[in-house]
Amino acid sequence: MLNDLASAVIVIVAVLFVLLTTVAYLTYLERKVLGFMQDRLGPMEVGPWGLLQPLADGIKLISKEDIIPSDADKAIFRIAPVISLVPAIISFAVIPFGRDSFHFLGITTHPYITDINIGILYVLALSSVGAYGILLGGWASNSKYSLLGALRSAAQVISYELNAGMSVIGVLILAGSLSLVKIEAAQSGGFWHWYIFPQIVAFVIYLISGIAETNRTPFDLPEAESELVAGFFTEYSGMRFSLYYLAEYANMIMVSSIATILFLGGWNSPFAFLDFVPPFVWFMLKVYFFLFFFFWIRATLPRLRYDQLMKFGWKVMLPLSFANVIVTAIVVYMVRH
Amino acid sequence: MFSQSHPEHYVPIFLFLLVAVGFGAVSLTVGKLIRPKNPYKDKNAPYECGVPPINDARERFSVRYYVIAMLFLVFDVEVVFLYPWAVDFDRLGLFGLVEMMIFIFILLVGYVYAWKKEALEWD
């Protein structure tokens, strides 16, 4: 028990450190990728190739004045960014980053914080809690832009969460478990065992829903700057603003991790002769592929209109995910009997 | 077949929760020590493109949001029912499969009804 606790503490510290560093450098990476795609160089001034830019941004944000609007609901306004950030961070508790246990300071540690038998349900539950932070923040600001942004965001998040939840069911039928560790282990032995092939429809649905749930372009209507200024965090500044930003990027990493685990085999290598590469590296490569994909989409596609967004979610994605569940269930039953 | 529940597996999550809340609290407190504080009336007014704000922001908004919330509630509860069936798919066998197809069919009737009632329209 004591050993378990010590190992949990070690992994928590490691996960938090890696997560926050990744989030900080994702902002840099996003600007670089967008820059190169638009034939610019991106940030170049702070440090070599602008590598210290995230640090400079951090110092700037923490030393900015924290403006609270006079008509705002002060207590809710203060606490809302934290409500958004905490679920985004603690959902990483069930993500398995690698396969093998390792030793650190004489303590045996797992490559995950904990392995609960309802892993995927836990992640989906927390992603809904994050929407409260957005809704409360937009409401408390008492600004028209914030309120409209928050309402849009909440409606969009719940609509697409439904599709994400439905698309997961096919994978659950194949793997027979809700634990992310077991789902990853079920896909070992070469890339043809990955669930992306039997569940290609679910994969596409999950990816689109993931982009919509994290409010990224082309679904970034809650913060559409040309009409809503900055959406639900229009009135936020300084550190509270950056907590919302952290939450958004942590959610992006979360969606990428879940897509990696459910459909791309997590830490499994695609070929047996590539097994010498550590599982952790495979996991990271796949997650970064999805993150790059997010940036790529942002550089490519224009924003949808709100009615198009809702229509697409409820009239195209939902019937598709229903069909996917039905077909998967029948086919899997016929194959196994 | 049934896996045991392990309440002790949730202790690390609780620890992580404390750490995450602590991170938020500390970063905000540290910021408080170094940032300037110079509020005045115009700065604290809600943003409205530089014009003095008209009316309260909390006015009436479209009922569509409410309809979407209701629909979400119905379908999300259905999804929750589908999860245990999907996990225990093999053990429930043909009985579970037929049962769930009937369940999904009833759900689809409701979906078609909502579609025909134009609850999914947005204009």
3-state secondary structure of A102: strand
- What's this model's pTM, rounded to 2 decimal places? 0.88
Interval B15-34: pLDDT, tens = 888 888 888 888 888 878 88
The two tokens of residue A60 are 């700037």
Confidence of residue A224 (pLDDT cuts 50, 70, 90): low
Residue of A206, A130, A194 lying closest to A165 (CA atoms): A206
pLDDT in tens, A92-131: 888 888 777 777 776 777 777 777 888 888 898 888 888 8
Between A1 and A40, the more confident residue is A40
Closest-CA distance of chain A to residue B93, Å: 8
Quote the pLDDT of residue A253.
Answer: 92
Q: Which residue is it, tokens 């919302």? A: A244
- A-B Cβ pairs (cutoff 8 Å, strict): 209
Contact A239 B83 (CB under 8 A): no
CB-based contact B80:A166 (threshold 8 Å)? no
Query: Is B57 in contact with B46 (CB distance < 8 Å)?
Result: yes
What confidence score (pLDDT) does residue A14 get?
85
Q: Is 0.85 exceeded by the ipTM?
A: no
pLDDT at B4 over 70: no
| Separation between Cα atoms, residue A103 and residue A119, nearest integer Å | 24
Contacts with B24 from chain A: Cβ below 8 Å: 81-82, 85-86, 243
What pLDDT is recorded for position A220? Answer: 77
Question: What residues of chain A, 259 to 318, have a C-beta less than 8 Å from chain B?
Answer: 306-307, 310-311, 314-315, 318
Residue of chain A whose Cα is closest to the Cα of B20: A86
Share above pLDDT 70 across residues of chain A, in percent, rounded to a whole number: 97
Tokens 């005045």, residue located: B40
For chain B, the structural domain boundaries read 7-116
Question: How many whole angstroms separate alpha carbon A191 and alpha carbon A270?
Answer: 4
Pairwise CB contact (< 8 Å): A238 & B43:
no
Report CB contact under 8 Å: B9, A116.
yes
Q: What is the DSSP letter of A142?
A: T
Residue A287: name the closest of A218, A213, A210 by CA. A210
DSSP percent split of chain B into helix, strand, coil, nearest 5:
65, 0, 35
Which chain A residue is nearest to residue B19, measuring alpha carbons? A12
Q: Do A176 and B17 touch (CB under 8 A)?
A: no
Could you report the per-residue pLDDT of B39-68, keeping only the tens digit for each? 777 777 777 777 777 777 777 777 888 888
Average pLDDT of the residues in A41-64: 86
pLDDT digits (tens, 9 = 90+) for B64-116: 888 888 888 888 888 888 888 888 888 888 888 898 899 989 888 988 998 88
Cβ of A176 within 8 Å of Cβ of B44? The answer is: no
Enumerate residues 127 to 146 of chain A having a beta carbon within 8 A of any beta carbon in chain B: 139, 141-146
The pLDDT tens digits for A145-183 are: 888 888 888 888 888 888 988 889 989 888 888 888 888
The helix/strand/coil state of B57 is coil
pLDDT at B2 over 70: no
Candidates A5, A59, A62: best to mutate against B (most CBs of B within 10 A) is: A62
Name the pLDDT band for A43 (thresholds 50, 70, 90). Answer: confident
Q: Quote the pLDDT of residue A113.
A: 78
Residue contact A329–B21, C-beta within 8 A: no
DSSP state of B62: -
Give the Cβ contact number of residue A281 at 10 Å.
12
Q: A283 pLDDT band (50/70/90 cuts)?
A: confident
Chain A residues inside the 8 Å CB shell of B5: 117
Residue type, A206: Y
Q: What is the pLDDT of residue A305?
A: 81
Tell me the average pLDDT of chain A.
85
pLDDT of residue B5: 67
In words, the CATH class of domain B7-116 is mainly alpha
Q: Report, as an integer, the average pLDDT of A29-57.
A: 87
Contact status, residue A161 vs residue A240, Cβ threshold 8 Å:
no
The whole-number pLDDT of residue A1 equals: 65
**Count of structural domains within chain A:** 1
DSSP secondary structure string for all residues of A229-280: TTGGGTT--HHHHHHHHHHHHHHHHHHHHHHHHHHS-TT--SSGGGTTS-HH
**In terms of C-beta distances under 8 Å and separation of at least 24 residues, what long-range contacts does B112-116 make, across chains too?**
B114/B71, B115/A315
CB distance from A10 to chain B under 8 Å? no
Cβ-based neighbours of A219, under 8 Å, separated by 6 or more: A156, A160, A211, A212, A303, A304, A309
What average pLDDT does the segment A189-195 reach? 80
At A289 the pLDDT is: 92
Domain residue limits at A83: 2-336
Q: Tokens 């639900």 appear where?
A: A232
Q: Considering only residues A53 and B60, tell me which one the structure prediction assigns the higher pLDDT.
A: A53
Which of A15, A89, A243, A328 would you mutate first to test chain B, the one with the most B CBs within 10 A? A89
A41 part of contact set with chain B, CB < 8 Å: no
pLDDT at A186 (0 to 100):
83
Question: Which tens digits make up the pLDDT trace of A285-303?
Answer: 899 999 999 999 988 888 8
- So what's the pLDDT on residue B1? 39
